[in-house]
Structure 1
């Protein structure tokens, strides 16, 4: 929107000149020249005032800027009309008309570049680049810092705070994510989708447990959005914990049909449905239909890498310390496939394929070779930090992906 407004502002000047030309090209000074100029002035004033109002309504101008520009336009209009009434030189009238025509685009550009709108546009573009996997680790860290500074200086910018919350959740900063999500929900309680993500962040922050607050938020979301996938997943976990396996299965099945069959989330939900079906059968209750077919077969996930991950001898970690296992290409630090484990799960066998992609458009299916990394995140952050322990395979060509691989986490960063 901001780039469109800049283009429109630049377009106003030549357009105004075209509109004014019939009145200014010296039409026989004596025959209704004053009336023609007065009509042109009125038309131009109305058009520019309408553009000012549109800029204010879109947010490109605030009310103070709108008032100042409107007053300046009014002064120029009065001065031009006074010149016509006093019979001043035509050249002076033409100068005033051209000054008025130039006022809006030049003032709009000046205000835009002197305000923080251009910084907002730059930040938006960087967020888009991050979503497309076109940023480096340094870019990602800088972008997170910029978002934190943005929400501090603009507390009413809930969109930036929401984007920050999502980034903090992915990065493993659960307390920061919860704080940011909660801020947005408190000010926009009707935003059911954000409320569901807050419930998810609280679930992870509680060690993957359903707390009373998570349960309450989940119920509130499902009352507004019965098919919210995040809330249905949490509701299924809550039902399974209380041994209501039928409800757990039904919640997960409703969430499953909304997902791409080859996504990591779909695989996890399909496995959950199967667990619920089995628990129903073991309890003597009819399990009804299963959705095993909803989980895409391994072949549908394209090429895959099987990896055995273990901790090096003598390395100790708290049981819930995150372990990130991922594959990435040479063109970007963003993972092409990633699995999150906990230290207590090691040693573990992991499969990396396109169902583990962070974004559907970027997966290992499009890579000819990958770097494999397994990192014990001592500080809980998804990004490498001093003190973390790591193991890696620097380059694994596609021809070797069918062979089982092994990584031992034994090198401290």
Structure 2
């Protein structure tokens, strides 16, 4: 019952967003794909426009799909996914194979015409919809060099960068979101994410400030507005001291995965590398299936917690359709990053154990190598 009681307002917000956007995509993408297939090859810009030209129908006043992952994981990184949210995300995912063919063609055309900023931007959106966040980051980066003052691009880029960097808004993602708000103070997605970052940092006054600005931009009777109002009420309760944070707190333990698929063990640091590590350095642990670059379970800690005992399960999935329980074996990778970024960089300290059986216990991952 405790886990159920801790499912708060933001889960409702995330679920509402997923339902609305997934349904919109079900209507938007199929006709766009049919139009592309029924016409001869065209320029990169028109190819991109045909795929996502009706993007507004799938955005809800500027909130693109990646914000769903961000809100779900910023709000409560290791919490179980909502069944309704899983169902809707899975529905959108069924379109992926057909969508992927168009996206790959789009990417090839953009390589031939790299000066198309809007094309790179829409390619980034496509990758984000597909859950290919690392590819989305690259596409957005190319777009931003050509469109440096596009507020929506800044916030979309920050969004997927945060997802790729273990769901952390701190640092560059938040800087870009703040820049987007300076350019467009009424950017809905930027206001939502800034408020989320403030709430996560227990800066409830600023969370209220940003979300109240957001509420003024939403239809009063919309489900999203009602859910955001509940979020504001919760933040105000925090300020008044009437309530303890119900997410993001260290004592808030995620419920075990329903299927019981887990891997547990310990991450240790080789004594030979101990002098290269500070207590505040970020530690990332991920489980990846063979042949895949996307993790099926992730967790983050600090070097000061080493040796780190861990349990990975389905509650730590980045996307509900890519879970630990879907596989028999995975590779466990651990790394220490001074930059705090999940994406590998030279100088990161790493360790890996291959062919780990799902269900294994007492797995030992030793960080004993330096990334070149």
- Residue 291 of structure 2 aligns to a residue whose secondary structure is coil
Retained in 2: the 8 A contact 1:168–1:174? Answer: no
Aligned partner (choices 263, 275, 283) of residue 323 of structure 1: 283
1:8-407 to structure 2, matched below 5 A, reads 120=118, 124-125=122-123, 127-129=125-127, 131-133=129-131, 140=134, 143-155=136-148, 157-170=150-163, 171=165, 174-201=170-197, 208=201, 210=203, 213-214=206-207, 216-218=209-211, 220-221=213-214, 225=225, 227-228=227-228, 235=235, 239=238, 244=241, 246-248=242-244, 252=246, 272=252, 296=255, 298=256, 300-313=258-271, 314-398=274-358, 401-407=359-365
Superposed displacement of residue 341, structure 1: 1.0
RMSD (CA atoms): 4.3
For residues 157 and 181 of structure 2, the distance between their equivalents in structure 1, rounded to whole angstroms, comes to 14
The higher-RCO structure (CA 8 Å, 6+ apart) is 2
Shift of 1:388: 0.9
Q: Provide Cα deviations, 1:344-395, integer angstroms capped at 9, x if missing partner.
A: 2222222111110000010111112100011111222111111111122122
Q: Give the conservation status (yes or no) of the 8 Å contact 1:309–1:409.
A: yes
Q: Which moved more, 1:401-410 or 1:332-341?
A: 401-410
Larger radius of gyration: 1
Q: 1:385 and 1:234 mapped to 2: Cα distance?
A: 39
Query: Which residue of structure 2 aligns with residue 13 of structure 1?
Result: none
8 Å Cα contact 2:257/2:314 also seen in 1: no
Secondary structure (helix, strand or coil) at the match of 1:300 reads: coil
- Alignment gaps of 5+ in structure 1: 11-54, 60-111, 253-264, 275-294
TM-score (norm 2): 0.57
- The aligned residue for residue 87 of structure 1 is none
Partner Cα separation in structure 1 for residue 233 and residue 265 of structure 2: 28
Label 1:212 to 1:130 Cα distance change in 2 as closer, same or farther (>3 A): closer
**Superposed displacement of residue 247, structure 1:** 2.7
CA 116–321 in structure 1, closer or farther in 2 if over 3 Å, else same = closer
Question: 1 CA distance for matches of 2:327 and 2:321?
Answer: 12
Shift of 1:156: 5.7
How many pairs are equivalent?
264
Residues 269 and 368, structure 2, Cα contact 8 Å, conserved in 1: yes
CA separation in 2, counterparts of 1:352 and 1:123?
34
1:220, CA displacement in angstroms? 4.3
CA distance in 2, matches of 1:302, 1:126: 35
CA deviations over 1:286-305 (Å, ceiling 9, x no partner)? xxxxxxxxx64x25153011
**TM-score w.r.t. length of structure 1:** 0.52
Instruction: Decide which structure has greater helix share.
Output: 1
Q: 1:199 to 1:234 in 2, by over 3 A?
A: farther
Distance 1:124 1:227 in 2: 29
CA distance in 2, matches of 1:211, 1:319: 28
Residue 118 of structure 1 and its aligned partner are, at CA, apart by: 7.8
Give how far 1:193 is off.
4.1
